[in-house]
Copies of this chain bind each other. A is one copy, B any other.
Amino acid sequence: MQIHPSHSTVHRSGSRADIRVPFTRVALTNGETFDRYTTAGPGSDPEVGLPPLRAAWVAERGDIEEYAGRETQLLDNGKAALRRGEAREQWRGTRPRPRRGAGVVTQMHYARQGRVTPEMEYVAIREGCDVELVRSEVAAGRAIIPANVNHPEAEPMIIGRRFLVKVNANIGNSAVTSSIAEEVDKLTWAVTWGADTVMDLSTGDDIHTTREWIIRNSPVPIGTVPIYQALEKVDGDASKLTWEVFRDTVIEQCEQGVDYMTIHAGVLLRYVPLTAQRITGIVSRGGSIMAGWCLANHEENFLYTHFDDLCEIFARYDVSFSLGDGLRPGCTADANDEAQLAELRTLAELTQRAWEHDVQVMVEGPGHVPLNLVEENVVLQQEWCHDAPFYTLGPLATDIAPGYDHITSAIGAAAIAMHGTAMLCYVTPKEHLGLPNRDDVKTGVITYKLAAHSADVAKGHPGARDWDDTLSRARFEFRWHDQFALSLDPHTAEAFHDETLPAEASKTA
């Protein structure tokens, strides 16, 4: 969807006819044009879904098989479906059988073999860089291209510090609110405004079906936290979780096409007591689930003990790890403490183990961090985790402004991205207070796009400042229409202008 009449979609072609990378072209009133990175995709009828852009690329590598797949169960959609005896609003579009590799089919695997995939070429055109940079960064683990073979609808996208800083938007239903249609609408809305990936954090009813609708309509990689669904399957009692239930949930999601999964495998039994003296203890939902399981069962985290099993599964679908920071600080006072850093050391160990399986990895980071401690987070993560991409939630630079935490966190996010964080998880104005609605999703995405771009400019990323310069020239020459068209959010810019000076004359002179 284009958001402004001066915007159109143009494509840059690759070495073969089916590599066509979309950009948003902004037509300026002085006859010039400006091309912008876009994540909106070609647009879809939600009931039909997107065309399988990557299907041929995946198939022609000749290393995957179709298979019957796991049978969907009523419990996959939660207790309500079980009660009703049927799932609601099931996916009505076409759905090929699931695919998986006979062996390892990850972009990292190909990159390490020296092979340039169409996905890598697509990414290089998108980023305006040499394809060898893409291949070598993926091979080294310094960047990932999250691309499940069962999500061929997604446009390939790279996450790594040598590339544009990316933004993730969280959506998802909960027991309290929202329908499948609303979640699909939030997905489309988020990518319209520039979300580079979307995480479906649903915890309520219809989890399986909601995810299916989202993936089939998503032009961007989809991430999940599978422990949320696994917990629903054991009636919300963390102590009853098992590796088997978790494994089954992971395979369910691999077959649907989830591109990356947050795995809280660094929450070790011995780290839990380190959080006792904190002001806010454990605030990560996944972290507290796993800490609760460890304590209840007096056993080591099964995600840690079964980590190699997970790697073997991920390798066959090309699912990327997002190694969760279950012990991240929940307030500035708890930042960079022993619990957080102990977990980070374990995430570094797990990064290496995933790489031994050629599985792609990024590492999650905080959270809440005072500005003076932000840089240390990136420095330690990059050093310990051998430059695996860092993916942070904000961080919030202060705790005193609920209702404005998109801003408190954008301050930390811009700073941490400038120092090398590869992807930022957005925070909306509803953080700590409630569930984001459509407007909050837009505000969150725009706020994080400006933070990410501020970091790109600060890093001197090639070409990043061209956008600023083009808009600044329009501003200096009073080309108001061009200022609006070049804005991250043309609608808001024009509406604010018109509040004071609505006359057409005041936009052209």
Contact = CB atoms under 8 A, between A and B. Distances in A.
Interface string A239-259: 000000000000000000000
Contact of A468 (B331, B403, B433): B331
Contact of A472 (B399, B430, B455, B487): B399
Contacts of A399: 468-469, 471-472, 475
A499 B437 contact: yes
A330 B432 CA distance: 36
Contacts of A437: 499
Q: Is the interface of A mostly helix, strand, loop or mixed?
A: helix
A493 interface: yes
A503 to B, nearest CB: 11
Nearest to A432: B475
A487 B402 contact: yes
B331 A404 contact: no
Given A372-B418, A454-B370, A454-B371, A469 B398 contact: no
Given A399-B471, A465-B333, A496-B434, A455 B404 contact: no
A120 B487 CA distance: 47
A432 to B, nearest CB: 7
A422 interface: no
A353 interface: no
Interface stretch (A211-219, A378-386, A407-415): A407-415
Interface string A279-318: 1110000000000000000000000000000000000000
Given A372-B458, A403-B487, A500 B177 contact: yes
B333 A459 contact: no
A500 B435 contact: yes
A500 B436 CA distance: 9
A404 B468 contact: no
B407 A371 contact: no
B497 A433 contact: yes
Interface in A453-509: 453-455, 457-460, 465, 467-469, 471-473, 475-476, 483-484, 486-489, 492-493, 495-497, 499-501
A460 B333 CA distance: 11
A467 B371 contact: no
Given A370-B465, A400-B471, 20 more contacts: A176-B500, A177-B500, A330-B475, A331-B469, A332-B472, A370-B457, A372-B459, A399-B475, A401-B488, A403-B489, A403-B495, A404-B489, A407-B447, A407-B450, A408-B450, A411-B414, A433-B496, A433-B500, A434-B496, A434-B500
6 contacts: A331-B475, A333-B468, A370-B454, A398-B468, A400-B486, A411-B411
